[in-house]
Structure 1
């Protein structure tokens, strides 16, 4: 089986899904590894799945096997009060069997997010998404400042991972800096994944 980076995300309004696409392009720019884009269903306040079993469009829903067998992970979520969205957290809460097996140990992981306001908790969300990955024994990677967009961006982009400023109405498209940082993060993660395999 060809190695793959799992680009696992939840997207409410499409911004995180668009970021996932650019991250996937970055992954696939590296030969010998593919991007596997997967999402998670929305849940209700009583933590029941509220989406159909198969999404009508876009990425299909992730399974535990998608996560267990990946060579690297890119995890994305919109910000919810400085934290990841409940559907993604709910999925991660079901990964105890993978944690017990150690299947994710020593595999690289990175995180990405989108917020409505420029200072709406991008970095705290990225940090909160890293915590369960550290418990799984993953190797956390970010974006180094050799990516010049980190110093130039007036929208999203952090050393903790890619980010997007969607605007309070969700009407801001990904900036060129944001797209380039997503691509760079995907490429870096794929390169590290292949290095760790060999």
Structure 2
């Protein structure tokens, strides 16, 4: 199996749009994108558009893309809550040497995109994952006036605009392809 887990939390829909675009890149590179989300802490029984993540998803994946909206420069609490429950996987080194990337959405230009991306990297580093960003070889990284950073894909949802710009779409797809390509290379070793 060549499943790559695309794990996200989305409240307004922007982060889910990023997840779908990254999944497109993953599938274009020949892997299966397994879209999963985490429950809201305020309404854990609310229906979600994608299935809720299970620890088995982390065990079975060959790579991980993780996304969250920005909450004061950090990942959203529901996603952090999930990672706080993964100590058993950490003790078994389940995620060690699997490639990972991160993505986020903010409602303002200086809303903490890069800080959020860095905060999401911390549990992945503790799990021993190999982190990937977006290299400047991607042309859209040089021209974007919306989202996109070398730390990971991002979206500027100014005035609640959940639609991704063309640059944001290109960068998400490129990141998904890069994640899948590296996951496949690591599987061959």
Quick check: TM above 0.5?
yes
Q: Which secondary structure state, in structure 2, belongs to the residue aligned with residue 78 of structure 1?
A: strand
1:35 aligned partner: 33
Q: Which of 150, 157, 168 is the matching residue for 1:166?
A: 157
What are the within-5 Å matches in structure 2 for residues 93-172 of structure 1? 93-167=84-158, 169-172=159-162
The question of whether the paired residues in 2 share the 8 Å contact of 1:10 and 1:87 is answered with: yes
* 1:30 to partner: Cα distance: 1.2
Q: Which secondary structure state, in structure 2, belongs to the residue aligned with residue 134 of structure 1?
A: helix
Deviating 4+ runs (over 4 angstroms): none
CA distance in 2: counterparts of 1:56 and 1:144, whole angstroms:
36
What are the within-5 Å matches in structure 2 for residues 51-70 of structure 1? 51-52=44-45, 56-70=47-61
The question of whether the paired residues in 2 share the 8 Å contact of 1:69 and 1:103 is answered with: no
1:11 aligned partner: 10
Q: Which of 158, 161, 170 is the matching residue for 1:180?
A: 170
**Structure with the larger helix share:** 2
How does the TM-score come out when normalised to structure 1?
0.93
CA distance in 1: counterparts of 2:175 and 2:148, whole angstroms:
11
CA distance in 1: counterparts of 2:67 and 2:5, whole angstroms:
11
CA distance in 2: counterparts of 1:172 and 1:22, whole angstroms:
13
* CA displacement 1:67-109 (0-9 Å, x = unmatched): 1221000000000000000000000000001000001000000
Q: Which secondary structure state, in structure 2, belongs to the residue aligned with residue 156 of structure 1?
A: coil
The question of whether the paired residues in 2 share the 8 Å contact of 1:79 and 1:114 is answered with: yes
Q: Which secondary structure state, in structure 2, belongs to the residue aligned with residue 109 of structure 1?
A: strand
1:47 aligned partner: none
* CA displacement 1:133-177 (0-9 Å, x = unmatched): 00000000000011000010000000000000001x312521000
Q: Which secondary structure state, in structure 2, belongs to the residue aligned with residue 183 of structure 1?
A: helix
CA distance in 2: counterparts of 1:113 and 1:172, whole angstroms:
12
Q: Structure 2: give runs of 5+ residues left out of the alignment.
A: none
CA distance in 1: counterparts of 2:48 and 2:99, whole angstroms:
29
CA RMSD of aligned residues (A): 1.0
